[in-house]
Amino acid sequence: MSKILGIDLGTTNSAMAVMEGGEPRIIENHEGNRTTPSIVAVSKGNERLVGLLAKRQAVVNQKNTVFSVKRLIGRKFDDENVKKDKAWLPYELRKAKNGGVEVKMGDAWNSPETISAMILQKLKADAEAKLGEKIEEAVITVPAYFDDSERQATIQAGEIAGLKIRRIINEPTAAALAYGLNKEKNEKIVVYDFGGGTFDISVLEVGDDTVEVKATGGDTHLGGDDFDQRILKYLVEEYKKQEGIDISKDPLAVQRLKEAAEKAKLELSTAMQTEINIPYITSDASGPKHFALTMTRAKLEELVKDFIDKSIALIKETVTASAPKGAGLKLSEINEIILVGGQTRMPAIQKAVKDLFGKEPHKNINPDEVVALGAAIQAGILQGDVKDILLLDVTPLTLSIETMGGVATAMISKNTTVPTSKSQVFSTAADNQPSVEIHILQGERPMASDNKTLARFILDGIPPSPRGIPQIEVTFDIDANSILNVKAKDKATGKEQSVRIEAVTSLNKEEVERLKKEAAEFAAEDERKKELIEIRNRAETAIYTAEKTLKDHGEKISAEAKTIIEEKTKKTQEAKDGDDKEATEKATQELMEELQKVGSSMYNKETPETPETPETPEAPAEGENASSESNQ
Amino acid sequence: MTEETMEEKVSRLEKEKEEYLEGWKRAKADFLNMKKEEEERVREFIKFGNEAIIRSMVSVLESFYLGLMAWKEETPEKKGMMLVRAQLEETLKKYGVEIIQAKIGEEFNPEKHECLLLEASESPTGTITEEVEKGYALYGKIIRPVRVKVSK
């Protein structure tokens, strides 16, 4: 079954997304961008252009470049709004036979549906190219205030584009879906959508998997573009003040200023001030002129304050006014607020909304993409992706086993997707150790005793051998039902032992959180403890090696060297039993050095017939003292 | 009777087995495909990861051009700055940046040109009369179109 495309068909920009592995993902268009300008044009050569290409040629071809067609779709030509828009739209409009609107593009008169279909067609083709599969169905979003005729026209646009429209959903509902708020019970949600050219407010009520629109409001002619225009105007005026030159007549200068204005607006969302530098912006008889200005966030906020104030007044009205103007609710009755549209990145807007409701709005999903993502989620629900998806669990906490010195050695770390299997080979800690205990733990702390014991078992019958020689393979296997099987196998004898632990991933949320918090709290102390254990383990290994060397090769070692080793062994043993980390480390180091000396002198003794060993120059050099003495 | 149910059971289990095997194969294929896509994404990321920096650098380069154009006398200092510009161009080239230029008289093409202004001229309608700013592509993707004036 082919994927259903989620489409946010916007007034200024459109975006699309699909479900992938249970998550919605934005699909980039052919030009490699995540949003596509909702602009269509027919060039002089009768070629159809959509998106960025249409935008680039807008100046050359003003009359045949159609944008903002969403303002016209499904409306009557005599509609008041259409009349207003007709006054400023640069392309020609006329009354269609059915009373609707027709738009002139090239030599033809087109319905707004046909124009929208051209945008949808591009999105469809680009998605097919990106995904490598045919797209036949889509979910399209529309503003909550769209009436039946506007919705029908949008469906028709989809059909003209060769898409079966599985559902039309409201933009604010899509945003709520993207934030997963559709599952809440009896919640009242306000969606504040400040797009490029329109400002929409919707009050939603969620209950029993239904989302009801209680009220809509806003201003269809207020958007982020107005903010850019304000900044641009300010920059032009400032320049006039600074240099006495009006650069608004120079198209290149205006273009560069526009870019600078947009950049400044974005930067002031994170920084308190920004430098606008445009060298060689223009020139006059006296030579080149530059533009340099420091703009503060406060200045920007002052410039657009009335827009923000207006938007806040509109929210108040939409929420509190009685029906049909508003939802007839108190501001305090609103449970959640969602910010949509690029302009909501502005901190002053976020703050104004927060202050109005007295709570933090949802804003962590990219506000330019949240509606398309929600549309994809709706598509996923229709496709069965969301419900039927094979939900794979993850391990909430690390699973480990206890090793020498009481250290918890991780086998499967937390957040690993199950089913999974990991194995590692361990060995014994003492000579002739007949059995090993497998102590299975759960938790994030480095020391075994601080974690939760899940099970213990013993693998015995290990044939007598020096420590470190037996190979015990321990395997942790978690199946899809979260059942952990731990198996220990002696590779030499093939003997094995295992244990089965039920439901290791089904810890309750609070417990997981508590354990994680604990781990973070004790992180530093735990690290010290673990370090001390590791040093002690090294000391123990050194003592063991020393004792073994004396026992096995005692006759080859000079009495003098033997005394030194015994002394150092004793010192290491004492240090190890104490709590002094540095002393243990130092004693271990010295003991190891001594052992190395003895080792190399023994090596020299064992090979007296080959005194010339030019290929190993470092051996005689290192053991020089020891060898000359012990050779006596 | 029992044999009948046994057969039924076998056929049901066989069907189930097929289904599971199919699901397993799909999951494995999904995984392998995801790995390939991930590799592709990483490659793309490496290629286009510095697009934002390059976009900003390109603005600096443009200011350089304007500065050199405004510098009328041919002094050794100007020559030096020309070399600095060339150095910057070379550096960007190493990272996949290609400079796109428009020819006067060439037909306007929105794939790589952006029109800033229409002007009356003797050249045929729809042809480029002036290149105002150079364009830039990063590994073939236009990150900034050539800004031009077009004859009306």
Mean pLDDT, residues A309-338 taken together: 92
Phi and psi angles of residue A483, each rounded to the nearest 5 degrees, phi first: -95, 125
Nearest by CB to A255, from B34, B108, B147: name it.
Answer: B147
pLDDT at A385: 56
High-pLDDT (> 70) share of chain B, %? 98
Q: Which residue of B has its CA nearest to A287?
A: B70
Q: How many pairs of residues across A and B have Cβ atoms under 8 Å apart?
A: 59
pLDDT at A614: 38
Kindly indicate the confidence band of residue A514, based on its pLDDT and cuts at 50, 70 and 90: confident
Q: And the tokens for A342?
A: 């690029």
* A615: Cβ contacts below 8 Å, ≥ 6 apart: none
A 246-275 → B contacts, CB under 8 A: 251-252, 255, 259
Residue B91: how many CB atoms within 10 A of its CB?
A: 12
ipTM of model: 0.72
pLDDT at A599: 78
User: Is residue A164 predicted with pLDDT exceeding 80?
Assistant: yes
pLDDT at A158: 95
Q: How far is the alpha carbon of A280 from chain B, nearest alpha carbon, in Å? A: 6
Summarize pLDDT for A28-56 with one digit per residue, the tens: 999 889 999 999 999 877 889 999 999 98
pLDDT at A325: 84
High-pLDDT (> 90) share of chain A, %? 47
pLDDT at A507: 60
Mean pLDDT, residues B45-49 taken together: 84
A574 is catalytic: no
Q: For residue A105, what are the CA distances in angstroms to A98, A465, A478?
A: 19, 90, 63
Tell me the CB-side half-sphere exposure of residue A104, using CA atoms within 13 A: 12
- Of A85, A113, A150, A193, which one is the catalytic site residue? A193
- Interface contact B113, partner A, CB < 8 A: yes
A208 is catalytic: no
Kindly indicate the confidence band of residue B36, based on its pLDDT and cuts at 50, 70 and 90: confident
Q: Which residue of B has its CA nearest to A42?
A: B110
Distance CA A201, CA A353 (A): 12
For chain A, list the domains and their CATH numbers.
Answer: 4-179 (3.30.420.40), 224-303 (3.90.640.10), 399-521 (2.60.34.10), 525-630 (1.20.1270.10)
* Most confident of the ranges A277-286, A466-475, A511-520, A605-614: A466-475
pLDDT at B97: 94
pLDDT at A252: 81
Helices and strands, number each (H, E), in chain B: 3, 6
Summarize pLDDT for A215-247 with one digit per residue, the tens: 999 998 899 989 999 999 999 999 999 888 898
A 206-245 → B contacts, CB under 8 A: none
* B128: Cβ contacts below 8 Å, ≥ 6 apart: B102, B103, B104, B105, B106, B107, B108, B113, B148, B149, B150, B151
Q: Which residue of A has its CA nearest to B114?
A: A56
Mean pLDDT, residues A6-16 taken together: 96
Look at the block and give the residue holding tokens 């935008």. Answer: A55
- Interface contact A463, partner B, CB < 8 A: no
Mean pLDDT, residues B119-145 taken together: 90
Q: How far is the alpha carbon of A447 from chain B, nearest alpha carbon, in Å? A: 35
Summarize pLDDT for A196-213 with one digit per residue, the tens: 889 999 999 987 777 888
Beta carbons of B108 and B139 less than 8 angstroms apart: no
User: Is residue A299 predicted with pLDDT exceeding 50?
Assistant: yes
pLDDT at A488: 94
In chain B, residues with a C-beta closer than 8 Å to the C-beta of A56 are 110, 113-115, 145
pLDDT at A631: 35
Mean pLDDT, residues B108-123 taken together: 88
- Of A70, A363, A414, A489, which one is the catalytic site residue? A70
Summarize pLDDT for A451-485 with one digit per residue, the tens: 888 889 999 888 888 888 999 999 999 887 778 89
- Cross-chain Cβ contact B113/A59 below 8 Å: no
Q: How far is the alpha carbon of A56 from chain B, nearest alpha carbon, in Å? A: 5
In chain A, residues with a C-beta closer than 8 Å to the C-beta of B119 are none
In chain B, residues with a C-beta closer than 8 Å to the C-beta of A32 are 48, 141
**Which ranges of A14-111 does DSSP label H, i.e. alpha helix?**
52-56, 80-88
User: Is residue A96 predicted with pLDDT exceeding 50?
Assistant: yes
pLDDT at B3: 64
A193 is catalytic: yes
pLDDT at A303: 95
pLDDT at A505: 58
- Of A113, A171, A200, A228, which one is the catalytic site residue? A171
Q: Which of A56, A262, A282 to mutate against chain B (most B CBs within 10 Å)?
A: A56
Beta carbons of A620 and A604 less than 8 angstroms apart: yes
Tell me the three state secondary structure of residue A73.
coil
pLDDT at A76: 92
pLDDT at A14: 96
Kindly indicate the confidence band of residue B26, based on its pLDDT and cuts at 50, 70 and 90: confident
Summarize pLDDT for A328-343 with one digit per residue, the tens: 999 999 999 999 999 9
pLDDT at A353: 96
Nearest by CB to B115, from A59, A259, A288: name it.
Answer: A59
Kindly indicate the confidence band of residue A506, based on its pLDDT and cuts at 50, 70 and 90: low
Distance CA A598, CA A608 (A): 16
- Cross-chain Cβ contact A252/B125 below 8 Å: no
Nearest by CB to A280, from B30, B67, B113: name it.
Answer: B67
Nearest by CB to A57, from B63, B115, B147: name it.
Answer: B115
pLDDT at A424: 92
Angle between helices B51-70 and B76-94 (to 10 degrees): 160
**Which ranges of A78-217 does DSSP label H, i.e. alpha helix?**
80-88, 112-131, 148-160, 171-178
Q: Which of A57, A255, A256, A389 to mutate against chain B (most B CBs within 10 Å)?
A: A57
User: Is residue A119 predicted with pLDDT exceeding 50?
Assistant: yes
Q: Which of A3, A60, A131 to mutate against chain B (most B CBs within 10 Å)?
A: A60
A171 is catalytic: yes
Nearest by CB to A53, from B70, B110, B141: name it.
Answer: B110
Nearest by CB to B108, from A60, A279, A288: name it.
Answer: A60
Beta carbons of A163 and A138 less than 8 angstroms apart: yes
Bridge pairing between strands B135-138 and B97-100: antiparallel
pLDDT at A161: 95
pLDDT at B102: 92
Beta carbons of A73 and A112 less than 8 angstroms apart: yes
Beta carbons of A135 and A127 less than 8 angstroms apart: yes
Mean pLDDT, residues A16-36 taken together: 90
Kindly indicate the confidence band of residue A390, based on its pLDDT and cuts at 50, 70 and 90: low
Q: What is the mean pLDDT of chain B?
A: 88
More confident residue, A253 or A103: A103
- Interface contact A69, partner B, CB < 8 A: no
